[in-house]
Structure 1
């Protein structure tokens, strides 16, 4: 048990939980049992070798009534609610331990998908930079439930001032901790596939202690998955171009690309583009610059504020060819350099004002960001919707940050051959990109 920020929290991992639950499982190793004696099913995993905790050990999920839940846990407040479930902050009535209970509606997901996320999180949570699951795993009449440590400061999205960005020192702290989390996952041949600020949980508002969360989309390197319609700014270009029929192979370079976009978002308070596709004018401008050899005399409009060292870092993280991207830990050598040039930021703003009057360039809302930088310490920020769709060529404005999530009418998120997956907060809708539900704030 640990004490962080005045909240007592449990730090445990799945191996201990699994050992405890093996004796409870009526199904034996390799099966998923239910306390109610419901039908069992093998926990599958694409990629051949699988993950040991899922292939070699069993998870038993016991059944509790609503009255039992109330008996064991004191409800403090609701942390989030979405189409696929909810997250409650509770305290164990005996131990006084605060935790986040994640309820996933049974009608919206499959048991094996729920248990995959639980077991993967437990396997990875030996890293100090990955959220920990607790020895709490049960089902109610309508939900599957597991517990994880409570992050009292919310998520990274909440603290990024729109069109301003975070102080560089905070960004560098995030880069180091997230880089270590992703490097640990990649050393296990696992790819997160959903790196974005909503999935970075905070234990303090200065980002001195943060953790990566939400492993519902995590897959093994080499696993072939189908893609859904639509993209979000963190989606790598090879995924944007992938056929929905053939899908694409999971590689660590997908996380590297998303990590690069996330660093840009933290530093600027904007997306670099809305989709890594030729139809997106901002992305196409960046690609032309890359193809030209990244000339210093012709920085892309949104990238003028960065130092030469930062631009070298982004060139390696955001290489269009996946095989040319660096590893996430390679960014550590750039942390010692300045990333944003105040001189270039001011010059960039003056240039954009002139371009705006000629309607042939980019009009950046960040030109007025300095006057609003004092709001960066507030508890929450309003993130406006984009005013210009991708591909518009005149009076372009940087895409402001928003909570976004991939969605599809036929399969929640993405699905692997032979297995369907869905997670809380993902809505089935015809729109290509929807605002994420509040549940993603907390889980």
Structure 2
């Protein structure tokens, strides 16, 4: 059966049709008869993800088990069908035409990412090199642009949901569409307040609901980019009570305000890009594809240049931009930036996430946590 996007029909119609078809054809099976489970890749409140080999096909795949006690069949069908609908994009995790149920779980199969996820390779309080960051974020930008062109909003952009196939990020893919919704629809509640959550959602009452907009993803994309390049969160929550966010807010609203210390490592071009991604007003945030123009620019200042911009305002910052180099999406291995981020924030890159947190494999790189971030669900 074909799941290719049909541009002549709306995403709503296509997804509804796919869900009805999947519900009719989904069988109840015994996992051990069809799959050899190799090991557990991750687990959380939703269930678990196992690495398995299909006994007939002989292919390795990741099986996602969603507990029936906490997952409605409708939610399972929605996540699976959205994932299938989008998987024709090379920057979105591939899906197998496999969905079934067991006594306790709903299960679907997806492509196995051999190197884990992006969270595992970001050095805390250091960040990735500019080159690797650009290579990775370029692919995620194209994945989100594809998603948005189909009138869908991911709503859970974070490193744990970006799967990688090599440590140099030559091949990365966006995953986990359990929170994805049609743009323009209304959600009853915010699932959690985390560093990636836009300020308009942080301020939303748990009882009032909100409209699903592309700007939600744009904000999270901007925070993700900051985290990748610094190994730190810019703030715990995008609320006035958070001193780091309040400092950022003042800087954005009043251009004469000093550039906050944790943002001084970025060039004027990068700061302008962040201002467009992290605009306080949702309607003023740029489209994801608008950031592609900045890939030819330098994003991190050198040590000498950082001394010159330290403490200056937005209007006073002048940075010499090096000649732009072409962005290769393949090639040799690059060394990670060893210069630690000079930032006033005490936040380190911890495993904050929404209610769908995945427990890291014991073999994963450990992440140092200096400030615990509580998630309100």
- 1:229-268 superposed matches below 5 A: 230-268=192-230
1:327 corresponds in structure 2 to 287
Q: For 1:98 and 1:212, locate their aligned partners in 2 and report how far apart those are by CA, in whole Å.
A: 19
The alpha-carbon deviation at position 237 of structure 1 amounts to 0.6
Q: For 2:211 and 2:291, locate their aligned partners in 1 and report how far apart those are by CA, in whole Å.
A: 24
Q: 2:129·2:335 contact (CA, 8 Å) conserved in 1?
A: no
Match of 1:207 among 163, 169, 177: 169
The alpha-carbon deviation at position 85 of structure 1 amounts to 1.1
Could you say what secondary structure the match of 2:246 adopts? helix
Q: For 2:272 and 2:344, locate their aligned partners in 1 and report how far apart those are by CA, in whole Å.
A: 25
Match of 1:337 among 297, 318, 333: 297
2:374 pairs with 1:433: yes
The alpha-carbon deviation at position 314 of structure 1 amounts to 0.3
Q: For 1:348 and 1:201, locate their aligned partners in 2 and report how far apart those are by CA, in whole Å.
A: 38
Q: Answer with 239-248 or 249-258: which moved more.
A: 239-248
The alpha-carbon deviation at position 51 of structure 1 amounts to 4.5
Could you say what secondary structure the match of 2:237 adopts? coil
2:46 pairs with 1:58: no
2:368 corresponds in structure 1 to none
The number of aligned residues is 331
Q: 1:192·1:218 contact (CA, 8 Å) conserved in 2?
A: yes
Q: 1:425 to 1:80 in 2, by over 3 A?
A: closer
Q: 2:199·2:239 contact (CA, 8 Å) conserved in 1?
A: yes
Gaps of 5+ in 2: 5-9, 312-333, 338-342, 360-371
The alpha-carbon deviation at position 74 of structure 1 amounts to 1.6
- 1:168-247 superposed matches below 5 A: 168-228=130-190, 230-247=192-209
The alpha-carbon deviation at position 226 of structure 1 amounts to 2.4
The alpha-carbon deviation at position 348 of structure 1 amounts to 8.8
1:155 corresponds in structure 2 to 117
Larger radius of gyration: 1
Q: 1:435 to 1:90 in 2, by over 3 A?
A: farther
Q: For 1:155 and 1:376, locate their aligned partners in 2 and report how far apart those are by CA, in whole Å.
A: 17
Q: 1:159·1:376 contact (CA, 8 Å) conserved in 2?
A: no
1:15 corresponds in structure 2 to 3
For residues 117-168 of structure 1, what are the alpha-carbon distances to aligned partners after superposition, in whole Å with 9 as ceiling and x for unaligned? 0000000111000011101111111111110000000000000000000011
Q: 2:157·2:196 contact (CA, 8 Å) conserved in 1?
A: yes
Q: 1:343 to 1:51 in 2, by over 3 A?
A: farther
1:387 corresponds in structure 2 to none
For residues 314-346 of structure 1, what are the alpha-carbon distances to aligned partners after superposition, in whole Å with 9 as ceiling and x for unaligned? 010000001111011111110111101022675
Q: For 2:45 and 2:184, locate their aligned partners in 1 and report how far apart those are by CA, in whole Å.
A: 31
- 1:273-422 superposed matches below 5 A: 273-293=235-255, 295=256, 298-343=258-303, 347=307, 397-407=345-355
Q: For 2:79 and 2:373, locate their aligned partners in 1 and report how far apart those are by CA, in whole Å.
A: 24
Could you say what secondary structure the match of 2:69 adopts? helix
Q: 1:236·1:257 contact (CA, 8 Å) conserved in 2?
A: yes
Gaps of 5+ in 1: 1-12, 17-47, 352-373, 378-394, 408-422, 437-443
What is the aligned-residue RMSD (CA, Å)?
Answer: 2.9
Q: 1:89 to 1:435 in 2, by over 3 A?
A: farther
Q: 2:192·2:376 contact (CA, 8 Å) conserved in 1?
A: no
- 1:33-182 superposed matches below 5 A: 50-55=12-17, 57-59=20-22, 60-65=25-30, 69-182=31-144
Q: For 2:71 and 2:357, locate their aligned partners in 1 and report how far apart those are by CA, in whole Å.
A: 9
Q: 1:129 to 1:86 in 2, by over 3 A?
A: same
Q: 1:191·1:251 contact (CA, 8 Å) conserved in 2?
A: yes
Q: For 2:98 and 2:298, locate their aligned partners in 1 and report how far apart those are by CA, in whole Å.
A: 44
Could you say what secondary structure the match of 1:107 adopts? coil
Q: Answer with 339-348 or 80-89: which moved more.
A: 339-348
Q: For 2:254 and 2:207, locate their aligned partners in 1 and report how far apart those are by CA, in whole Å.
A: 33
Q: 1:165 to 1:51 in 2, by over 3 A?
A: farther
Greater than 6 Å deviation, 4+ residue runs: 348-351
Report the TM-score when normalising by structure 2: 0.81
2:363 corresponds in structure 1 to none
The alpha-carbon deviation at position 247 of structure 1 amounts to 1.3
For residues 237-269 of structure 1, what are the alpha-carbon distances to aligned partners after superposition, in whole Å with 9 as ceiling and x for unaligned? 111111222211111000000000000000000
Report the TM-score when normalising by structure 1: 0.69
